[in-house]
Structure 1
Amino acid sequence: LHTQTNITGLINLYHCNAQIPTGEQAFRTICDCFAWAKEPMVDRIHLLDERTPIYFLHGDQSWITSESSFIIQEKRQNVFVETVKGAGHHIYADAAVEFE
């Protein structure tokens, strides 16, 4: 019985990790109307020295929109916004080559 339990646990673990990850998609769907920053960066960005360059990197499939990055880019100089096609929120994992 103990061996069967271990095998069943391993099979379940395999199936949890062998599927296409959908956690981010589920989170985005569940929180669509409720996910927002407590203190939005767009309202505080003016506190940074304008000589300091700011870079925003977004995946075009991310559940976080790039709208605020473009608003900031319009309001100040030295702001750069890039979008990586085919990447979600975790660009380093979704598009590792482009991220480097």
Structure 2
Amino acid sequence: MSVVLDSFETACHQPCPDMPYHSLNAAQKAKGLACLQKVRADLREKQLKPLRQQRTELATKANHEDTSALERTRLIKEIDRIDRTAQRITERWS
């Protein structure tokens, strides 16, 4: 039973020292990190795009002269909430 547990405890993702072909070279690491950065930027932009559109619509409504003071206050609070959400998304995916 301990033999089975020992095989599960070894880290499969770490290359063996006697098998150098399992490790990445510098170019492969750089390419992987560049792809990772691109994916993170794409995910961040995908989440921020609808928030930007919603914020623009709310700002237009809030700046309209026919909007009451109570409605304008509600819209400003909603815009602030969107800004906080966008800030969290930006921090998370940076």
> Which protein is richer in strand relative to its size?
1
Max radius of gyration: which structure?
A: 2
Q: Do they superpose with TM above 0.5?
A: no
**Relative contact order (alpha carbons < 8 A, sep ≥ 6): 1 or 2 greater?**
2
> Which protein is richer in helix relative to its size?
2
Q: TM-score, normalised by structure 1?
A: 0.30
Q: TM-score, normalised by structure 2?
A: 0.31
